A and B are shown apart, each in its own frame.
Chain A
Amino acid sequence: MRAFFRRPVKQPVEALRNVSFDVYSGEIFGLIGRNGAGKTTLTKIVATLVQPTEGTVTVRGYDSVRNDEHVRREIGLAGAEERSFYWRLTAEQNLLFFARLHGLRDRVANRRIQELFARLELEDAAHRRFGELSTGNKQRLAVARSMLASPAVLLLDEPTRSLDPLAAARMREMIQALAQQDPPVTILFTSHNLAEVETLCARVAIISRGQIRAIDAPARLRNFSSGSELIHLTVSGIDADQARQVLGSREDFAVATTDRDAIRISFTRQSEDDQLDDVLRALHRRGARVLDVDAERSTLFDVLERYEKDDALLP
């Protein structure tokens, strides 16, 4: 009996450690990492839903614990959680409820809701119960809710996760437009779609096992991971021997004949060095015509993978 009633002692889980960074006004800041890395916890701390045991989060000058009500006036959160709406209410009724909690008058709230429905292409879903909406529309409704009170800071947790490619592209356009509008909206953005993060975010933080491992612009993170890139040139007008003469005796150049009366030259160069220019000029002088240039660069995926491997070695 004693064993049955004994309350198991829960070991506290350290979800985040030594996390410190600034996000600037109008910036789209990406947060990437594996599942369970701490992205959602970090987002919830900023949103005042989780209190940090140590340290502080400040949103536009307000402390997330001491001035939580002020912070919530400044932020909007679109989470990845589907169960955050009332399933028996329509999309419109749901938004009206949350708009009223934000203190909007009904007339203003209704106008804002119609505006958001139009912007997020949700007009057809307005009078349907939340439970009947498609996963993509539920996702868009969560984004609409986060924008109800026109917050200065938006926390978007995988906002394109369930969207079709066209809807996802429009969502990305909207996010970019929000960051560029006047006054700009600051966006903290998490996604597992790394190409999307690279396209949208001015800076990206890589989070792993609750720690920020790197923060920088996506291009610089890539370069940091591997400063080199593999270049493939498809060239016509010269044959393989002529190409070898042009390129000299360097061992890192590979020349092969392709099946369409052209040759393929491959070489490795350091990012942003002059080697590609030099090769293209030399080929031109010899009368070659460049049909295609292809570069194999490291991606954010490679960067993420590298940090993950590093962390796997940690005790």
Chain B
Amino acid sequence: MNSIRLLPRRIYAFIARDFRLFVSYRMQFFLRILSILTVVTTLFFISKIFAGFTDPRYSQWRDPLASWLTGLAVLNYFMTGFSSLANSIRQEQVQGTLESVLLTPINLPTIIVASSAWDFLETTFFSFLYLFFGRVFFNVHYRGSFFLALVFLLLTTLVLASLGILSASFAMVFKRGDPFGMFLGAGSALFSGVFFPTQLLRDYAGPKLGNVSLILPATYGLDGIRQVLIEGHGLMQVKDPLITLLIFLVLLLPFSLWVFGRAVRRAKREGSLIQY
């Protein structure tokens, strides 16, 4: 009960700490904004090559720039959900501060939520920039319910965060060589439809490889968000990806929390909390 009452203060502590660390590297901040603008501009000119040539079967891809920008913005968010906790734990291990944090009376769920909080704020800002630059400089329009898109974003992020907790468990015990990171990091960009429709993969590479996209939560998240923002679909039309994501969440979240608890216990038994 006490932990729940103190949760906002502790999340704020992590956000304030990470913000201060972030602004201590000001140059990095401006370079990142510049790189996003460069990517959006490059994609705009590439999209011009495809003007009028898009296959009518892929309704979400009539304006490739809109699809790429939603894909990149959302992928950015998903990857944060997935990698934030593992990165933050690894960083604390390398810095040697993990023991100091674990010495305070905070519980594991608090660490999981709080240590990723700043990453999500930062990613929200940079993901928004993709859409903002597209809208302001290249006239990209979005329609449909932003609230429904947000529900998809939140749900997919939670599913990927569950996988991120599993990834962090690897970082806690094995320190390096996390299989989830390799599979989801490289796999999501290729298989979940960030840069091209997943149907294309199935058409060209056959059903075996094409079906890989079906086991990636990001596929359903991206599809749902694009259906809402680009095609203007409502709740009933996007219920299939929504339900799939809910099933992923119900299965993965409790399992990953259990694994993380075991990983911390094992690291404590081995006395390897600050090793990396």
Contacts and interface: CB of A to CB of B under 8 A. Distances in A.
Contacts of A302: none
A39 to B, nearest CB: 13
B17 interface: yes
A113 to B, nearest CB: 14
Given A84-B100, A98-B100, A44 B105 contact: no
Interface string B227-266: 0000000000000000000000000000000000000010
B96 A83 contact: yes
Interface residues of B, number: 30
Nearest to A89: B20
Given A15-B271, A53-B269, A84 B10 contact: no
A101 B106 contact: yes
Interface in A63-103: 69-70, 72-73, 77, 79, 81-89, 93, 96-98, 100-103
A69 B105 contact: yes
Chain B CB count within 10 A is highest, among A73, A93, A102, for: A102
B20 A102 contact: no
Interface string A262-300: 000000000000000000000000000000000000000
A89 B265 contact: no
Contacts, number: 86
Nearest to B25: A88
Interface in B92-130: 95-97, 99-107
Interface string B1-42: 011001001101100110011001000000000000000000
B100 A145 contact: yes
18 contacts: A44-B99, A49-B99, A50-B271, A50-B273, A53-B269, A69-B106, A70-B105, A81-B99, A83-B97, A85-B100, A86-B97, A87-B95, A88-B21, A89-B17, A98-B100, A98-B104, A101-B104, A101-B106
Interface of B: 2-3, 6, 9-10, 12-13, 16-17, 20-21, 24, 95-97, 99-107, 265, 268-269, 271, 273-274
Interface of A: 15, 41, 44, 47-51, 53, 69-70, 72-73, 77, 79, 81-89, 93, 96-98, 100-103, 105, 145
The 9 closest A-B pairs by CB, nearest first: A83-B96, A100-B13, A101-B104, A72-B105, A51-B268, A84-B100, A73-B105, A88-B24, A103-B6
Given A41-B271, A81-B99, 8 more contacts: A49-B271, A73-B105, A81-B96, A84-B99, A86-B21, A93-B17, A101-B10, A103-B2
